[in-house]
């Protein structure tokens, strides 16, 4: 940042000299507006070299890094939660299998005892426990005689259940570690968010102007970078390129930031998601206040309210141009917001939360042109937030 600012300062000074003193061939082309613009650029360039600007720049860089790490932790948590759910399903199926084999074994015990048994079944009853009886060689021999070949799997099934439960316990311990890491990182994000805001609030007018210019430059760079990366992927993923690139800035006139007052976020489109087959189809957006932060309609339209498994409490916004917007992981809705209600751009339609498979409070925001498949909302929200 410093090297770039220094070069820019020299360039602006040169422009200012030309603007003030003129050159014989172009002096007539200079206007007072050119001079004013050059002076404003010079003030902004000097402000970028100030301690106040550097303080904000450091806080903002740390915040961006923390947001990226927080997003990665939550992706790991989501993936782990799905793996745990699948493991619990496998355990339930294995336990059902074991219960079936156990029931057949008990019936065999009763039948063998009632009918006098064969192959020394009576000896099995001198064993110390029902489990030992069920897996005794005598009963296994009896099972073979009676065609109950699946009983020899009882021990193996029980051992597999034990192994799966140990695996489940390990993954649940990992989930607790990730949960603690997520909460700690969220606290760090909140502190850094506040530090960046405080540095901006403490800055003078010229420094604020420089910060606003730096934000604008960064926004333009991020939008261009996301488009560049999508273009690079086009050779291998032509069909997905349009969705990954998102809409060109300005495609939706008057679009406002869905998080009231602005938000911190990264371009997380396409990040791996739980189950190994899904990818992230939106932008995760955060605020310094977290739970309960107001979320607003990005355009005029009408809303639908719903509760779903992964998204938790959600709201759909349908605008007049045919776009559909999806807000997920809400804490709740404002009082009086009715199903199918007409809303105005900027109106509060929900509050940030962590319902569904969210982990920590954030807004998962999706953009669906024409009400169809989702496209990357990052370029659109990056321009507005």
Question: Do residues 109 and 41 share a domain?
Answer: no
Q: Are residues 209 and 317 in the same domain?
A: yes
Q: What is the pLDDT of residue 229?
A: 64
Does 253 share its domain with 365? yes
Question: Quick one: 143 and 169 in the same domain?
Answer: yes
Q: Which of 363, 364, 370, 365 lies closest to 380, judged by CA?
A: 365
Domain assignment of residue 67, yes or no: yes
How far is residue 183's CA from residue 168's CA, in Å, rounded to a whole number?
A: 22
Residues 171 and 215 occupy one common structural domain: no
Considering the domain architecture, whether residues 173 and 186 belong to the same structural domain is answered as yes
Residue 227 is predicted with a pLDDT of 66
CATH number at residue 282: 2.70.70.10
- Give the integer Cα–Cα distance in Å for 287 and 263: 5
Question: For residue 77, is it within any domain?
Answer: yes
State how many domains the chain has.
Answer: 3
Given CA atoms 331, 337, 343, 344 in this order, what sign does their dihedral have?
negative
Structure tokens at 317: 């916004």
pLDDT 10s per residue in the chain (385 long)?
Answer: 444 334 344 343 344 333 333 444 444 456 766 666 766 677 777 878 888 899 998 988 888 888 888 888 887 877 777 778 777 877 777 777 767 766 766 665 556 555 554 444 444 444 444 445 444 544 445 545 444 444 455 666 677 777 777 877 777 787 788 888 888 888 888 888 888 889 999 888 888 888 988 888 888 887 777 667 655 654 444 444 457 677 877 889 999 999 999 888 888 787 765 555 567 788 889 887 888 999 999 999 999 999 887 889 999 999 988 999 999 999 999 999 999 899 999 999 999 998 887 777 889 999 999 878 888 898 899 889 8
199 falls within a domain: no
Tell me, what's the pLDDT at 80?
A: 79
- For residues 297 and 343, the answer to whether their CB atoms sit within 8 Å is yes
Assess whether 186 and 242 both reside in one domain.
Answer: no
Cα 15 to Cα 307: distance, rounded to the nearest angstrom? 58
CB burial of residue 8 (10 Å; 0-12, 13-18, 19+): middle
Q: Look at residue 133 and tell me if it is in a domain.
A: yes
Q: Which domain holds residue 19?
A: 2-49
Secondary structure class of 18 (helix, strand, coil)? helix
pLDDT for 48 equals 83
3-state SS assignment for residue 304? strand
Last residue of a domain, one of 191, 224, 246: 191
Per-residue pLDDT of 229-239, as tens digits, reads 655 654 444 44
Pairwise CA distance, residues 18 & 15, whole Å = 5
Of 191, 221, 237, which marks where a domain is finished? Answer: 191
Long-range contact set of residues 271-276: C-beta below 8 Å, sequence gap at least 24: 271/71, 271/75, 272/75, 272/79, 273/75, 273/78, 273/79, 274/78, 274/79, 274/80, 274/81, 274/82, 274/83, 274/357, 275/79, 275/82, 275/86, 276/79
- Please indicate, yes or no, if residue 197 is contained in any of the structural domains: no
Reduced to 3 states (helix: H, G, I; strand: E, B; else coil), residue 36 is helix
| Residue 285 near residue 258 (C-beta atoms within 8 A) | yes
- How confident is the model at residue 353, as a pLDDT? 92
* pTM metric for this prediction: 0.50
Rounded Cα distance between 268 and 278, Å, is: 13
Q: Which of 170, 191, 212 is the last residue of a domain?
A: 191
């Amino acid at each position: 940042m410093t090297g770039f600012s220094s070069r820019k300062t020299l360039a602006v000074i040169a422009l200012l000299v030309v603007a003030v003193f003129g050159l014989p061939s172009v002096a007539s082309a200079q206007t007072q507006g050119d001079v004013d613009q050059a002076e404003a650029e010079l003030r902004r360039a000097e402000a970028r070299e100030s301690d106040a600007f550097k303080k904000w720049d450091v806080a903002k860089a740390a915040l961006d890094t923390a947001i990226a790490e927080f997003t990665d932790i939550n992706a790991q948590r989501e993936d782990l939660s799905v793996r745990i759910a699948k493991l619990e399903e496998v355990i339930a199926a294995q336990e059902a299998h074991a219960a079936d084999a156990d029931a057949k074994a008990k019936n065999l015990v009763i039948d063998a005892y009632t009918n006098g048994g064969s192959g020394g079944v009576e000896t099995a009853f001198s064993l110390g426990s029902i489990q030992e009886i069920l897996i005794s060689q005598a009963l296994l021999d009896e099972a073979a005689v009676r065609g109950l070949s699946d009983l020899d799997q009882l021990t193996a099934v029980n051992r597999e259940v034990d192994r799966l439960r140990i695996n489940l316990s390990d993954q649940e311990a990992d989930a607790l570690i990730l949960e603690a890491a997520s909460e700690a990182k969220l606290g760090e994000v909140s502190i850094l968010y506040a530090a960046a805001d405080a540095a901006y609030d403490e800055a003078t007018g010229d420094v604020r102007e420089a910060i606003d210019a730096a934000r604008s430059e960064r926004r333009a760079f991020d939008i261009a970078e996301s488009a560049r990366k999508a273009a690079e992927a086009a050779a291998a993923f032509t069909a997905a390129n349009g969705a990954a690139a998102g809409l060109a800035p300005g495609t939706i006139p008057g679009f406002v930031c869905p998080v009231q007052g602005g938000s911190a976020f990264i371009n997380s489109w396409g990040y791996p998601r739980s189950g190994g087959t899904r990818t992230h189809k939106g932008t995760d957006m955060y605020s310094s206040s977290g739970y309960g932060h107001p979320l607003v309609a990005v355009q005029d339209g009408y809303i639908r309210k719903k509760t779903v498994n992964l998204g938790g409490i959600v709201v759909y916004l349908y605008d007049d141009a045919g776009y559909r917007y999806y807000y997920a992981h809400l804490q709740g809705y404002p009082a009086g917001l009715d199903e199918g209600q007409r809303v105005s751009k900027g109106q509060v339609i929900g509050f940030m939360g962590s319902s569904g498979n969210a982990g920590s409070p954030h807004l998962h925001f999706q953009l669906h042109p024409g009400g169809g498949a989702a496209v990357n909302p990052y370029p659109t929200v990056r321009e507005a937030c």
